[in-house]
């Protein structure tokens, strides 16, 4: 039985309310003043407090202060005759849970109790019912022949339910959602593989891709003539964007929220370079041989992004003053904040944040980080915590008072892997767990997306006998040598490079200050 502490100097007049609540399964412990209330709280476990604002002796606000100092998480509902704004503001500032104006009727009291004591359960039950209704609709759509826009719509719905059911008290419904998402990923991989080569040929129905997204989405924004901040969060998934969106929208309104498709491999070397250059990787290699480093060569694979961007802008007739910043640590991020006023003088400022990519790698290599981000929900939560206290958040707060355009996007996402696929190769084989390229690759063609002629997907040719293979959905590649140890080390880590909804369908969001 839920126990309520009701503090009112005219408690005798409230007996009808107390009797009504008793019929609904609530026990009311009465108190006539603040001191008696504090004594009761010392001796009894109470789940919620109704507190009269206007009492002799200790006032309601004074009693509220005492309660919150000693029991900060205890919900308190203030009941008052006064509608003075000052009193309401004081009560709200003291962290009351709700505010009711006398006279109150029993149903108001009951509604307030359900709101503050049963909200999680009621929301969980309603969310479960709503998802059950949509489960069949999503399942039917997965059986249809969908185009790229329809797949984006399905993915958005799955992400919505993933976030909505994340706090559900019904773990079984979350398991059903995971199974449906796995099925969606299987079907999406088939769709991507069937259409990818045609998209690159320019066939009708192609989605926005890494090498076309700036031309189609960023360049029209640049024509508005405002200083533009192009923020790239490496390895940033759509569900992570939805997780931080409420914090962003405290200061901004979301102008447009798009999803575009990453090229493969879904890695920085290929996808981000293609995005900045506006060209596919083999085209970059041909046009800028001194700026492209192939897979089999030593050296940084993405150190010329600003050069690629400037060439891309020039190709489309832009003559802009641009800057490029890669934030690899908090110290650099904070130093950059001091330079924001100068950056406002530029037409385009590119800022790349590497935290989430570093998080995914650290989660693989560090047991403590793996525990902190043990599953999808925790991974989003760590992203939220980082963003809330990051230099990026400070940048956005500063820019929220300026007349600017801001774009938040990424180069690729990542997927949690849990199915090993055996692959052999020589010493020169690439190390990525989600795609492989190299000579003498040995694999089961049915288990991978295989591209024997890399020119079909505009990737550099390393050797005549060097195919590219890509992992699907939640698969990852493992070597037969020390197989069990290798699999155990990488199982349930977040990886990228292959084909999955999480890696491929990624956010491109424009926001404007309110």
- Taken in order of first residue, the domains within the chain and their CATH numbers are 2-117 (3.40.50.2300), 120-200 (no CATH), 213-414+502-513 (3.40.720.10), 416-496 (no CATH)
Query: Secondary structure of 277-306 in the HEC alphabet?
Result: HCCCHHHHHHHCCCCCCCCCCCCCCCCCHH
How far, in Å, CA of 188 to CA of 175, rounded? 20
* Whether 410 contacts 507, CB under 8 Å: yes
**Nearest Cα residue to 356 out of 241, 254, 435:** 241
**Residue 21, token pair as written in the block:** 């609540």
* Whether 33 contacts 7, CB under 8 Å: yes
Percent of the chain whose pLDDT exceeds 90: 63
Torsion angle in degrees (nearest 10) through CA of 472, 267, 456, 424 = -60
Asked if pLDDT for residue 503 goes beyond 80, the answer is yes
3-state secondary structure of 223: coil
- Helix axis angle, 391-399 to 330-337, nearest 10°: 20
3-state secondary structure of 88: helix
Of 15-29, 309-323, 362-376, the least confident: 362-376
Which pLDDT value is given to residue 224? 95
Average pLDDT over residues 475-498: 92
Q: Provide the total of helices (H) and of strands (E) in the chain, helices listed first.
A: 22, 18
Asked if pLDDT for residue 85 goes beyond 70, the answer is no
Asked if pLDDT for residue 500 goes beyond 70, the answer is yes
Which pLDDT value is given to residue 20? 92
Per residue in 464-474, pLDDT (tens digit) is 678 899 999 99
Which pLDDT value is given to residue 89? 65
Average pLDDT over residues 372-378: 85
Asked if pLDDT for residue 126 goes beyond 90, the answer is no
Asked if pLDDT for residue 146 goes beyond 90, the answer is yes
Give the contacts of 150 (CB within 8 A, at least 6 positions apart): 141, 144
**Residue 257, token pair as written in the block:** 């929220």
Which pLDDT value is given to residue 343? 96
Beta strand pairing call for 449-451 and 468-470: antiparallel
Question: What per-residue string of b and e applies to 47-63 under the rule 16 or more CB within 10 Å gives b?
Answer: bbbbbbbbbeebbbbeb
Q: Phi and psi at residue 299, in whole multiples of 5°?
A: 120, 165
Which pLDDT value is given to residue 94? 59
Of 93-107, 286-300, 380-394, 464-478, the least confident: 93-107
Asked if pLDDT for residue 62 goes beyond 70, the answer is yes
CA atoms within 13 A on the CB side of 51: 30
Asked if pLDDT for residue 160 goes beyond 80, the answer is yes
Which pLDDT value is given to residue 270? 96
- CA dist 105 to 14, 112, 304, Å? 10, 11, 69
* Whether 95 contacts 67, CB under 8 Å: no
């Amino acid at each position: 039985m839920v126990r309520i502490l009701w503090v009112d100097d005219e408690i005798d007049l409230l007996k009808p309310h107390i009797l009504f609540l008793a019929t609904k399964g609530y026990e009311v412990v009465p108190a006539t003043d603040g001191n008696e209330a504090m004594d009761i709280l010392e001796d009894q476990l109470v789940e919620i407090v109704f507190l009269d604002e206007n009492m002799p002796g200790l006032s309601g606000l004074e009693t509220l202060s005492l309660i919150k100092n000693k029991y900060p998480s205890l919900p308190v509902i203030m009941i008052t005759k006064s509608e003075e704004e000052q009193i309401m503001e004081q009560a709200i500032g003291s962290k009351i849970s709700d505010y009711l104006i006398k006279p109150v009727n029993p149903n108001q009291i009951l509604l307030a109790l359900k709101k503050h004591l049963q909200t999680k359960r009621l929301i969980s039950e309603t969310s479960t019912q709503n998802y059950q209704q949509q489960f069949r609709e999503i399942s039917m759509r997965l059986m249809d022949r969908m185009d790229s826009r329809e797949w984006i719509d399905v993915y958005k719905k799955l992400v919505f339910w993933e976030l909505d059911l994340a706090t559900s008290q019904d773990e079984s419904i979350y398991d059903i959602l995971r199974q449906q998402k796995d099925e969606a990923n299987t079907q999406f991989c088939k769709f991507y593989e069937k259409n990818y080569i045609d998209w690159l040929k320019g066939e009708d129905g192609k989605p926005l891709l890494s090498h076309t997204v700036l031309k189609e989405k960023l360049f029209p924004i640049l024509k508005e003539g405002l200083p533009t901040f192009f923020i790239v969060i490496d390895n940033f998934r759509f569900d992570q964007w939805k997780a931080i969106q409420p914090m962003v929208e405290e200061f901004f309104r979301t102008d447009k929220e798009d999803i575009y498709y990453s090229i493969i491999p879904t890695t920085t070397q290929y996808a981000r370079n293609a995005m900045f250059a506006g060209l596919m990787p083999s085209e970059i290699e041909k046009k800028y041989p001194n700026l492209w480093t192939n897979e089999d060569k030593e050296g940084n694979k993405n150190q010329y992004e600003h050069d690629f961007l400037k060439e891309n802008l020039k190709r489309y007739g832009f003559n802009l003053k641009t800057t490029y910043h890669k934030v690899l640590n908090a110290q650099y991020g904070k130093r950059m904040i001091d330079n924001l006023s100068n950056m406002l003088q530029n037409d385009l400022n590119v800022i790349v944040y590497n935290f989430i990519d570093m998080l995914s790698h650290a989660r693989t290599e560090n047991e403590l980080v793996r525990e902190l981000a043990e599953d999808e929900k925790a991974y989003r939560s760590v992203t939220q915590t980082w963003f809330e206290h990051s230099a990026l958040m400070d940048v956005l707060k500063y820019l929220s008072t300026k007349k600017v355009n801001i774009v938040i996007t990424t180069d690729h996402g990542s997927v949690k892997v849990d199915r090993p696929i055996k692959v052999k190769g020589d010493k020169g084989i690439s190390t990525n767990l989600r795609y492989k390229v190299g000579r003498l690759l040995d694999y089961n063609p049915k288990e991978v997306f295989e591209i024997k002629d890399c020119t079909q997907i505009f990737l550099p040719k390393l050797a005549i006998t060097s195919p590219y293979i890509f992992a699907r959905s939640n698969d990852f590649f493992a070597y037969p040598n020390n197989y069990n140890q290798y699999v155990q080390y990488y199982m349930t880590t977040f990886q990228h490079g292959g084909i999955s909804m999480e890696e491929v369908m990624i956010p491109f969001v424009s926001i404007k200050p309110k």
